[in-house]
Amino acid sequence: MLRQLLLLLLFCASGCAPKFERPNLDVVSIEMQHGNLLQQSFLVKFQIQNPNRRALPVSGLHAELNVGGERIASGVSNRAFVVPPMGQSEFDMTITANMALMLLRLANQHADSIDYEMTGAASLDLPFLHDLPFHQYGSLPLKSVQ
């Protein structure tokens, strides 16, 4: 009898467990804020979409900006926020870069933009999912950098 009760509880627990769909994290924009020859600051805006019926607590974020396979910028944020159930939130963070050498290499190419790769992860305060990684490609206009 005890064995049957245990099996019934396990069956019910597995059938009643809430489904969790992986949230989507996208880079919305990257804008140069200010800089000089040695250091530049970029404001990176992210959007996270939560397709679940429970809130998504984000406790921080780290990101890297790569150009031509080389890391040129990175940043971290410990600003916590909560994405509502079945909702989305936008947030931003500042990353710092040293693009002087990269710009010198690109000066002879007369390009209007630089292709980039943004990677990193959002830290989640959930027992079953701690990091939400992202990987996105895009292009930065050179006109605002010059």
pLDDT in tens, 28-77: 888 888 877 778 888 888 898 999 898 989 999 898 888 777 788 889 99
DSSP-derived letter for residue 18 is P
Task: Look up the CATH architecture of domain 21-141.
Answer: Sandwich (2.60)
Q: Residue 130: name the closest of 65, 80, 58 by CA.
A: 58
pLDDT tens, residue by residue, 102-146: 665 555 556 677 788 888 888 888 877 788 888 888 876 666 544
The model carries a pTM of 0.65
For residue 69 the two structure tokens come to 């396979």
Q: Token pair of 7, please?
A: 């099996």
∠ CA 62-64-66, nearest 5°, is 170
With beta carbons less than 8 A apart as the criterion, state whether 140 and 113 touch: yes
What are the structural domain ranges in the chain? 21-141
